[in-house]
Amino acid sequence: MCKFKSGIILKREVFVPNYEHHTRMLEELKIKDTRANAESKFIRFELIPENNDVFSDINTWRFVVDQDIVPEWYVEELDKKRAIEAVMAWAKKHILINIDNLKLTNNTYYLKNCKNTTCYNSTVYAYDNSTVEAYYDSKVEAFGNSTIKAHYDSKVEAYNDSTVYAYDNSIVKSYNNSTIKAYNDSIVYAHYDSIVYAYDNSKVYAYDNSKVEAYNDSKVEAYNDSTVEAYNDSTVYAYDNSTIRAWGSSIITKPRYSSFEKDNLILSENSVFKDCSTGITYQGGEWEWVLFLSCSHPQ
């Protein structure tokens, strides 16, 4: 698999696009991927940052020729220099450090400590306290306390204490103490102690000690040791050792083959617990259990 950062060395130029696939590069250059052409026309190369640190000095990156045969005109010292210079030229537009108020469109970017960035239809990797607002099918991966606002079908993966505000069908995967606020039919997959606040028909899948507060018709699937607080008309499916507290008219369901124990549940106000393994429904009543036999077949 091609690694970051990949390109093609030609006799009179070096081609460094925004993607890493050599086959696609040759297709774009209209060069057939044949042995004869590898012997005369092109050299696949990679410049690989040490420890995958894309913000490090490009001069220190490891140069790799990704083919067994090379043209006669290839001189390693000279062509390595050409490759480094081409990647540096690419990086000036795509690896951005300590630059605020960026407007990014239709491309791939790596940000470090960049505040008030707006991106459209782009792929963004945001590190170290960067703040990004993403629109229209953008993809963002956030690391190290970065804050992301995702709109209109954007996709976000958040790591290491990052914060994400997700709107309008956005999809978020969160890890390592990240905090998510999800609105407008957004979908969240929460892992490793993430905290999620879900509103407006959002859907949350909670794993690994994650904590969820669900409002306004949100739907939650709780696994492992997750904790859920459900309000309004939220719906929760309870599995494993998850802990649920329900208010308003929330509905808590134990699926038929779930190992969830009702001792991990507190019902309040008009909330309902449906135990599909027994066919029994419990109605909350100011912290007391009111037991009803279910009229429907367990799901």
pLDDT in tens, 235-285: 999 999 999 999 989 999 999 999 999 899 998 888 999 999 898 898 876
- Give the number of other Cβ atoms within 10 Å of residue 28's Cβ: 13
pLDDT in tens, 203-240: 999 999 999 999 988 999 999 999 999 999 999 999 99
Answer for the pair 5, 16: CB distance below 8 angstroms, yes or no.
Answer: yes
pLDDT in tens, 127-146: 999 999 999 889 999 998 89
CA–CA separation, 267 vs 257, rounded Å?
21
What is 201-263 written as a DSSP string? Answer: T-EEEE-TT-EEEE-TT-EEEE-TT-EEEE-TT-EEEE-TT-EEEE-TT-EEEE-TT----GG
Whether the model pTM is above 0.85:
no
CA–CA separation, 188 vs 202, rounded Å?
8
* % pLDDT > 70, the chain: 95
- Residue with token string 């991927």: 33
- Give the number of other Cβ atoms within 10 Å of residue 150's Cβ: 30
